[in-house]
Amino acid sequence: RFSHQYKNAAKASEQQARRRNEALDRIRSAREDKFDRYRQIAEMEDE
């Protein structure tokens, strides 16, 4: 059960999973930015 923690055994798959998650995060944050622009939330924060 612990073999994936030995040295860098799981590093390659971790890196790939991280890249995949980063791609999803980018989509999420671009969507949030767009929603917030409509709500003029950035302006509200500046105030």
Contacts (CB under 8 A) with other proteins, residues 7-46 = 7-8, 11-12, 15-16, 19-20, 23-24, 26-27, 30-32, 34-35, 38-39, 41, 44-45
Tokens for 47, please give them: 């105030």
For 18, 20, 29, 30, 31, the CA distances from 15, given in Å and listed in that order, are 5, 9, 21, 22, 24
CB 9 within 8 A of CB 3: yes
- Give the nearest distance from C-beta 45 to other proteins in angstroms: 6
Positions touching other proteins (CB under 8 A) are: 1-3, 5-8, 11-12, 15-16, 19-20, 23-24, 26-27, 30-32, 34-35, 38-39, 41, 44-45
